[in-house]
Amino acid sequence: MKKKKIICISIIAFLLVAFSIGSSVFYKNYKKEQKIKQEKLIAQKLVKKTNEKYAFYLENKIIENPQDETSKLFNQVLEEEKKNEEINSEEIKSFINLENIETSINSINEEISNYDITLLNNFSKKQVINSLSKDVDKNTVLKIYNQNKFIKKLKEEKEKRKKYLDKLLILKEELSDINAVKNLFYINKDNLVAKNNDALTKLQNLNTKYNLNLKIELEQPKPITQNSSVKELAGVPILCYHGVLDEPWGIESLFVKTSEFDAQMKYLKENGYTTLFASEISKANNYEKPVIITFDDGYKDVFTNAFPILKKYNLKANIYIISAWLNGDVYMSIADLQEMASSSLIEVGSHTVNHKALAKLSESDIEYELKTSQEDLKKITGQNITGIAYPTGSFDSRVTNIASKYYNYGLSTINGKENPQKLNTYTLRRIYVYRKYNINNFMNLF
């Protein structure tokens, strides 16, 4: 009896242990399954969140104010894609301005900088991975990366840009070669007149290669006449500056040293020159030595360095502002502009909204750049904005026609002085003042 009792107890104990072990295994498996389900759910949510976060890239859309490094990187690449699309419609010959070759070269330098291939060369899957934060799904981002149409043809797009840059560099060399003989040809109405055969050959080669349809001829000896010594009206010099800075960034030639600018303004003051606003040019004949000072772009240093010197010598000047670029890293602030505009020495004009080459735009875009910048600058300064300076000197008949709807005058980068009795009202000529000029070079501009 006792033995049976022991056996029963043993069986019950065994069953309890077995039940306990079975329950434990079941519970562990249950927890494991729940954990797997939870992890799958989290992974699914992460994939969904990542897809939503970077869907813009798959659709080739740029987002505003990206917060994470990956979005910023994607934005940069999409901006580069837009540039590459624009290459298809670019005409290299649009950079050729034989009336001001140095301006053409500066425009090419700006374009080369704009289409720098460094970002595309550096862009890779590794760079994307390194930019990822922990709250996104890496595989989902890489899937989006691999599906983007621009990435699929990145090699082809880089080659397209390289060819475009190579063409620009070749044109720059050719224009530099022609610039070396710029004193050996001139423009007579619609004709280019070369003073010798070397200049004629260089111009003809450029004309043929870029299909410019220019009329080029060799200068013929001028007959001596009784009135050949009669002197023409000298005209009003409109000086064109950009920046006044001792340590320049960007295109160095556009930034005059502070000490040189001071010496130049001192020369004007001490030698009886009268500074006028560009809007006063029609009255220039009332003065013995009229001169107009202009600044393009609206760099910060014009406020910090040039403005105090203008006040020091009590000289007037015009500043042409890129309205959308105010408060930028190298551009003056709205407060700076308002302080200058409140001075009796400064007249504000437009340099468009976004500094685009106007002759390359559609008429609706030209109208937007001219009209909107005028409205915005008037609100900021309280001045009537009556003048426009064409960015990079780019204009055509469409640009001047639209400019005449909103402005009283337009400034070009064509080299020369203006005769107040016969103004080129919407293509006023100007004289560049470059960094390399010393005071003697400056004096010779007049």
d(CA 399, CA 90): 18
Q: How many CB atoms lie within 10 A of CB 1?
A: 5
Q: Quote the pLDDT of residue 185.
A: 77
> Is 111 among the domain residues?
yes
**Is 121 in the same domain as 193?**
no
> Is 227 among the domain residues?
no
* Strand residue runs (E) in 229-287: 238-241, 243-244, 255-256, 274-276
Residue 228 confidence (pLDDT) above 50: no
Give 223's pLDDT tier (boundaries 50, 70, 90).
Answer: very low
Least trusted range by pLDDT, from 7-16, 156-165, 302-311:
7-16
**Is 163 in the same domain as 264?**
no
SS3 292: strand
Residue 131 confidence (pLDDT) above 90: no
Spacing of C-alpha 41 from chain mean position? 47
**Residues 95-107 pLDDT 10s:** 888 778 888 888 8
**Is 165 in the same domain as 200?**
no
d(CA 416, CA 422): 14
d(CA 349, CA 386): 7
Helix axes 154-179, 197-209, angle to 10 degrees: 160
> Is 311 among the domain residues?
yes
Give every CB contact of residue 61 below 8 A, 6+ residues apart in sequence: 78
**Is 207 in the same domain as 245?**
no
Q: How would you class 11 by CB atoms within 10 Å of its CB: exposed for 0-12, middle for 13-18, buried for 19 or more? A: exposed
Residue 230 confidence (pLDDT) above 50: no
SS3 276: strand
> Is 230 among the domain residues?
no
**Is 290 in the same domain as 434?**
yes
Residue 229 confidence (pLDDT) above 60: no
Q: Are 248 and 132 in contact (CB under 8 A)?
A: no
Q: Which helix (H) or strand (E) holds 216?
A: strand 215-218
Residue 301 confidence (pLDDT) above 50: yes
**Is 105 in the same domain as 189?**
no
Q: Of 172, 305, 296, 306, which is closest to residue 240 (Cα–Cα)?
A: 296
> Is 232 among the domain residues?
no
**Residues 165-206 pLDDT 10s:** 888 888 888 888 888 877 777 777 667 788 777 777 788 888
If one compares 22 and 113, the residue with the highest pLDDT of the two is: 113
**Is 337 in the same domain as 282?**
yes
Q: Quote the pLDDT of residue 189.
A: 66
Q: Of 154, 26, 127, 115, which is closest to residue 73 (Cα–Cα)?
A: 127
> Is 39 among the domain residues?
yes
Residue 331 confidence (pLDDT) above 90: yes
Q: Are 93 and 212 in contact (CB under 8 A)?
A: yes
CA distances from 364 to 89, 367, 374 (A): 17, 5, 15
Number of domains present in the structure of the chain: 3
Q: Quote the pLDDT of residue 292.
A: 94
**How would you label 109-146 residue by residue, b for 16+ Cβ within 10 Å and e otherwise?**
ebbeeebebeebeebeeeebeeebeeebbeebbeebbe
Give every CB contact of residue 30 below 8 A, 6+ residues apart in sequence: none
Q: Quote the pLDDT of residue 388.
A: 95
**Is 269 in the same domain as 402?**
yes
**Percent of the chain at pLDDT above 70?**
77
> Is 323 among the domain residues?
yes
Mean pLDDT of 61-78: 71
**Is 187 in the same domain as 160?**
no
> Is 8 among the domain residues?
no
**Residues 276-294 pLDDT 10s:** 999 999 888 888 889 999 9
Residue 234 confidence (pLDDT) above 80: no
Mean pLDDT of 218-245: 65
In the chain, the N- to C-terminal Cα span, in Å, equals 134
Residue 315 confidence (pLDDT) above 60: yes
Give every CB contact of residue 130 below 8 A, 6+ residues apart in sequence: none
**Is 272 in the same domain as 370?**
yes
What is the span of the domain harbouring residue 143? 23-61+68-90+97-173
CATH code of the domain covering residue 353: 3.20.20.370
Residue 401 confidence (pLDDT) above 70: yes
If one compares 118 and 341, the residue with the highest pLDDT of the two is: 341
CA distances from 402 to 8, 115, 351, 362 (A): 108, 29, 14, 12
Residue 34 confidence (pLDDT) above 70: no
Residue 222 confidence (pLDDT) above 50: no
**Is 322 in the same domain as 193?**
no
**Is 347 in the same domain as 262?**
yes
d(CA 176, CA 171): 8
Residue 257 confidence (pLDDT) above 90: yes
Q: Are 373 and 387 in contact (CB under 8 A)?
A: no
Q: Quote the pLDDT of residue 227.
A: 40
d(CA 395, CA 325): 21
